[in-house]
Amino acid sequence: MRSEIQELIDLIEKSLNLFSERKNIDDLKNKLEELEIISGNSDFWKNSNNAKSIMKEKQTIERNILTYQNLKQKLNDNIELYKLAIDENDFDIQSEIENDLFKLKSIALNAEQEALMDGEIDGNDTFLEINAGAGGTESCDWALMISRMYLRWSERKGFKIELVSQNYGDEAGIKSVAYKIMGLNAYGWLKVESGVHRLVRISPFDSSARRHTSFCSVWVYPVIDESFQIEINPSDIRVDTYRSSGAGGQHVNTTDSAVRITHIPTGIVVTSSEKSQHQNRTNCMMALKSRLYDLELKKMNKDIQEAHNSKGDAGWGNQIRSYILQPYQMVKDLRTNYETSDTQGVLDGKIDEFILSALAKRINSK
């Protein structure tokens, strides 16, 4: 039992050290002192947007410091109790400590994973867009499969999901869909999923049962609030209303309630088609501001190419991940080389390892 307990202690200490290193706990403590002084000034709330941004940063720092301190304290308490149990040959207490350490290991591992969220806006909600690429009906069906994958993943994380817009395929699947995914670090988790996803399978739409290759693009960008100052010149946008397409029958809209906004200088297009026209306009402006913020963020970081072009064409040469269902079973990320033969699990939303490996590579390359 002693070796198992010591192994658990070592694993927890490793996770805590990685968390402390990635979050720079000592630097965060100094930053927190600075923010407390700033927030204590009598004129702090005169600029409400700036104050909200500072308070949000302060709360994030406090949460990180408290997470580390609590885990460290619980580990130390268990270590001290473990030493006493050894001295007294109390195997019942040692068994209880082992159970507590198993639980603590899981919490520490989650904290280590959360520490990969190192960006200024990683804690934000996110927009997720999926578009069918080359391949016609095949790709529309593939886009629907990818959509389901992310929905199942989001549900496992306990995130809330809001459908923003959806455009059905002519025969099956979807041409495009957009979701707003809400939860702690939603953007931080999903930001590495932007890119082209490639599927190889025996087509269910081919009477000759031939193997087909399909593509769809995924685009992730953060939801921003009023604390981010994004000015949009009304003359730079074109607003169109149109009748949203549905699955047919009672699902077809009979009014032109859907909204499409085009930002002329960048070519960014956002749509919303699930609510009233007034709400759709609000949704579109929020999405547009988020896209423009993301565009500026990537320009500042000199990261990939311009945001609205970064997906590339949904076809050969731009894919980040391949999903092979025939002639063998494998999902492989082309950026990290992480792969698994559990294709059904992946399509059921078990994609954490792909995301974590991509996040870790991103941090290590900095």
* Range with top average pLDDT, 14-23, 37-46, 139-148, 211-220: 139-148
Superfamily for domain range 2-114: Release factor (1.20.58.410)
Options 3.40.50.2020, 3.30.70.1660, 3.30.70.20, 3.40.1350.10; CATH for 126-364 is: 3.30.70.1660
Contact indicator for 209, 193 with CB cutoff of 8 Å: no
Q: Tell me the backbone φ, ψ of residue 320, rounded to 5 degrees.
A: -105, -20
pLDDT in tens, 11-56: 999 999 999 988 889 999 999 999 999 999 989 998 887 888 889 8
Helix H or strand E segment including 200: strand 195-202
Q: Where in the chain is the domain with CATH 1.20.58.410?
A: 2-114
Please, which residues have CB within 8 angstroms of residue 36's CB and are 6 or more apart in sequence? Answer: 58
* Range with top average pLDDT, 127-136, 201-210, 222-231, 341-350: 341-350
3-class DSSP state of 57: helix
Interaxial angle between packed helices 25-39 and 48-87, expressed in degrees from 0 to 180 and rounded to the nearest 10: 140
Q: What is the pLDDT of residue 306?
A: 40
- Identify the bridge partners of residue 202 per DSSP, sorted by sequence position: 211
Q: What pLDDT band is residue 308 in, cutting at 50, 70 and 90?
A: very low
3-class DSSP state of 250: helix
Specify burial of residue 278 (Cβ count, 10 A radius: 0-12, 13-18, 19+).
exposed
3-class DSSP state of 173: coil
C-alpha closest to that of 35 among 53, 58, 16: 58
Q: What is the pLDDT of residue 307?
A: 41
Q: Where in the chain is the domain with CATH 3.30.70.1660?
A: 126-364
Answer whether residue 270 shows pLDDT above 60.
yes
Query: Please, what's the b/e burial string for 240-251 (b: 16 or more CB within 10 A of its CB; e: otherwise)?
Result: eeeebbeeeeee
Please give the radius of gyration of the chain, using alpha carbons only, rounded to the nearest integer. 24
pLDDT in tens, 53-89: 889 889 889 989 999 999 999 999 999 999 998 888 8
